[in-house]
């Protein structure tokens, strides 16, 4: 993994460069083909992972038996640390959206590093806290806000992902966003069409171009 130890990518779930390098050095590389599962929901925590290239989707099986898309992971994202820390089975499954390369840090290597480097444990704890805050924000947003606010907030959050420019053309899967927001795809499409008529964005197959970012941010704030 030494050839990757210096590769640091800022992302929503990244770790500080020094910690990133330490964990990568102890990891091995695995390649996933499109739709290949990394691990299933309920599996034992055997390691921690980092996306090197590609995109992964995180799903959870709901009470109704339907898969719920929780989030997507991109290059630079570390994940899988919580089951290592609490020793409980994984609450979600992860699969490749497209061909992907990931770093796999075995549980044994994880604990060896933690024993030697308390600063690494602190960095991982902060990562967990960041996820917890995001989950609280998502829950509060879902419970208290109407669909236009939640959808605008979701689109704005996509702008913050690596490699996305201001006033961007976002690759958007309406079905995935609908699953995340707990509504139908038709409801998402209806709201996008309303904003398109108002000049905030342009809807294309598999993509949305944001034309008025300021108004979209105001919509995300409920204005």
How does residue 164 score in pLDDT terms, banded at 50, 70 and 90?
A: very low
CB atoms within 10 A of CB 51: 25
DSSP E strands, the chain: 28-32, 37-39, 47-53, 56-61, 67-73, 78-79, 93-96, 100-106, 169-171, 201-204, 207-210
Count the alpha carbons within 13 Å of 187 in the hemisphere toward its beta carbon: 14
Is 219 a residue whose pLDDT tops 70? yes
- CA max distance for the chain: 58
Summarize pLDDT for 66-86 with one digit per residue, the tens: 677 778 898 999 999 999 999
How does residue 52 score in pLDDT terms, banded at 50, 70 and 90?
A: very high
Q: Please, what are the domains in the chain?
A: 17-143 (2.60.120.10), 146-221 (1.10.10.10)
Q: Identify the pLDDT of residue 222.
A: 77
- Rounded to the nearest angstrom, the gap between the alpha carbon of residue 110 and the centroid of all alpha carbons in its chain is 22
Q: What mean pLDDT comes out for the span 17-36?
A: 96
Per the confidence metrics, is the pTM higher than 0.85? no
DSSP, res 2: G
How does residue 142 score in pLDDT terms, banded at 50, 70 and 90?
A: low
Summarize pLDDT for 97-113 with one digit per residue, the tens: 989 999 999 999 999 99
How does residue 9 score in pLDDT terms, banded at 50, 70 and 90?
A: very low
Q: Which two tokens stand for residue 147?
A: 């669909």
Q: Identify the pLDDT of residue 181.
A: 80
Q: In this structure, are residues 79 and 127 in contact, taking their beta carbons and an 8 Å threshold?
A: no
Q: In this structure, are residues 172 and 208 in contact, taking their beta carbons and an 8 Å threshold?
A: yes
Instruction: Report the alpha-carbon distance of residue 75 to residue 95 in Å, rounded.
Output: 14
Q: What mean pLDDT comes out for the span 43-64?
A: 87
CA torsion sign for 32, 121, 125, 92 is positive
How does residue 170 score in pLDDT terms, banded at 50, 70 and 90?
A: confident
48 beta partners:
105
Instruction: Report the alpha-carbon distance of residue 178 to residue 199 in Å, rounded.
Output: 22
Q: What mean pLDDT comes out for the span 42-63?
A: 88
């Amino acid at each position: 993994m030494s050839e990757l130890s210096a590769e640091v990518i800022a992302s929503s779930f990244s770790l500080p460069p020094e910690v990133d390098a330490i964990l990568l050095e102890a990891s091995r590389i695995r390649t996933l083909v499109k739709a290949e599962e990394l691990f299933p929901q309920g599996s034992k925590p055997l390691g921690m992972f980092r996306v090197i290239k590609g995109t992964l989707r995180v799903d959870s099986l709901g009470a109704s038996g339907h898969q719920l898309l929780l989030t997507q992971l991109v290059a630079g994202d570390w994940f899988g640390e919580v089951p290592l820390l609490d020793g409980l089975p994984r609450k979600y499954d992860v699969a490749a959206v497209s061909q992907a390369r990931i770093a796999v840090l075995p549980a044994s290597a994880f604990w060896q590093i933690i024993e030697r480097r308390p600063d690494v444990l602190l960095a991982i704890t902060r990562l967990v806290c960041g996820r917890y805050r995001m989950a609280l924000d998502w829950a509060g947003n879902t419970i208290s806000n109407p669909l236009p606010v939640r959808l605008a907030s979701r689109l704005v959050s996509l702008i913050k992902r690596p490699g996305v420019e201001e006033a961007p053309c976002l690759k958007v899967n309406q079905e995935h966003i609908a699953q995340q927001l707990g509504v139908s795809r038709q409801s998402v499409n209806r709201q996008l069409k309303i904003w398109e008529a108002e000049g905030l964005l342009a809807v294309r197959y598999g993509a949305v171009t944001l034309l008025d970012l300021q108004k979209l941010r105001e919509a995300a704030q409920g204005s």
